[in-house]
């Protein structure tokens, strides 16, 4: 089943955010035509050669697409591109430098005059206006500006996420908004302008830490693989040197954990640990108790107890 098999997408894209969005559309059956610059194409092609000579990032975000080489600064190439859009395109996606698409005549305002039902999605780093409009917007920088790095890593070492999550978040918001615009077009026959920025997208993903630090409260600390505000939730060593990941979400699970995993049912009513906020505040004491209980068990034995108590684990 390919629900977008009758949809054509023309995309002027590079790097990750826009290509990731349009690849989702291609996976659903859309015909995606990727416009690439002569000679080098999307610069992501040059990141590495790990996939039978192709770059891993490029293969990941561009499978199932077609490619058309055009020098969009050339007047004749511009005519070809505009004719392609006017005759074929349902959706146009771009993440060029700020203002570049408008200069090429590819703004929503320009394209909707020749194709009223066109959907145009602009993806940028920091938004179409504002003081950071023209700043370089690489994934690491957006992770920092959105505050993501402030809650990731250890107390001593802030860490970025391994994957390009700022790009991915923007790509997913672009993708879902394009799908919504296509649904709306079915009802109204009208196109839509979509404006997505990486900063806004990742800031939305930071909603919980922002609310946690509401009204001047302390932000959640960087806590490695553990959860900053839920405890116990994270890695714990077993007696055989292996590590077990586990997580508790509520008081019912805490009671079962004490009774069936730690074999210390009295702990469930211990005043130090009778709510998540108390357990989180006393995590050093509680961690010592858990590590001691696990010290005589193998990881497999710990997992078996966790499974029997219906405690999430890995």
Four-CA torsion 251, 252, 254, 260, nearest 10 degrees: 170
Q: What is the CATH number of the domain that holds 271?
A: 3.30.1540.10
On whether residue 228 sits in a domain, the answer given is no
Residue range(s) defining the domain that contains residue 285: 233-313
Q: Which residues are catalytic?
A: 167
Residues 87 and 158 in one domain: yes
Q: Would you state the pLDDT for residue 103?
A: 93
**pLDDT confidence of 130, banded at 50, 70, 90?**
confident
On whether residue 213 sits in a domain, the answer given is no
Q: Would you state the pLDDT for residue 1?
A: 80
Residues 105 and 248 in one domain: no
On whether residue 107 sits in a domain, the answer given is yes
Assess contact for 283 and 231: CB atoms under 8 A: yes
Is residue 112's pLDDT more than 90?
yes
Residues 181 and 32 in one domain: yes
Residues 158 and 278 in one domain: no
Residue recorded with tokens 């070809």: 80
Structural domain count of the chain: 2
Residues 268 and 128 in one domain: no
Residue recorded with tokens 């416009």: 35
pLDDT digits (tens, 9 = 90+) for 283-299: 999 999 999 999 999 99
On whether residue 146 sits in a domain, the answer given is yes
pLDDT digits (tens, 9 = 90+) for 218-229: 999 999 999 999
Residues 13 and 153 in one domain: yes
3-state secondary structure of 86: helix
Residues 41 and 165 in one domain: yes
On whether residue 145 sits in a domain, the answer given is yes
The whole-model pTM stands at 0.91
């Amino acid at each position: 089943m390919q629900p977008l098999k009758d949809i054509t997408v023309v995309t002027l894209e590079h790097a990750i955010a826009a290509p990731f969005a349009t690849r989702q559309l291609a996976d659903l059956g859309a015909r995606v035509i990727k416009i690439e610059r002569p000679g080098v194409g999307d610069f992501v092609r040059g990141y590495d050669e790990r996939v039978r000579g192709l770059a891993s990032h490029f293969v990941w975000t561009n499978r199932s697409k077609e490619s058309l080489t055009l020098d969009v600064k050339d007047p004749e190439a511009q005519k070809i591109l505009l004719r392609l859009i006017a005759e074929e395109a349902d959706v146009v996606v771009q993440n060029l430098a700020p203002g570049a698409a408008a200069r090429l005549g590819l703004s929503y305002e320009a394209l909707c005059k020749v194709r009223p039902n066109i959907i145009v999605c602009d993806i940028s780093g920091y938004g179409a206006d504002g003081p950071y409009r023209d700043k370089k917007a690489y994934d690491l920088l957006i992770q920092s500006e959105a505050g993501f790095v402030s809650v990731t890593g250890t107390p001593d070492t802030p860490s970025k996420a391994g994957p390009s999550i700022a790009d991915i978040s923007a790509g997913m918001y672009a993708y879902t908004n394009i799908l919504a615009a296509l649904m709306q077009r079915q009802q109204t026959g009208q196109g839509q302008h979509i404006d997505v920025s990486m900063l806004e997208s990742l800031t939305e993903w930071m909603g919980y830490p922002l609310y946690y630090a509401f009204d001047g409260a302390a932000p959640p600390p960087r806590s490695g693989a553990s959860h900053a505000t839920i405890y116990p939730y994270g890695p714990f060593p077993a007696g055989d040197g292996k590590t077990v990941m586990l997580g508790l979400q509520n008081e019912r699970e805490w009671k079962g954990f004490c009774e069936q995993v730690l074999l210390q049912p009295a702990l469930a009513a211990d005043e130090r640990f009778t709510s998540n906020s108390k357990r989180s505040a006393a995590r050093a004491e509680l961690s010592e108790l858990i590590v001691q209980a696990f010290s005589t068990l193998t990881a497999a034995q710990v997992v078996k107890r966790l499974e029997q108590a219906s405690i999430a684990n890995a």
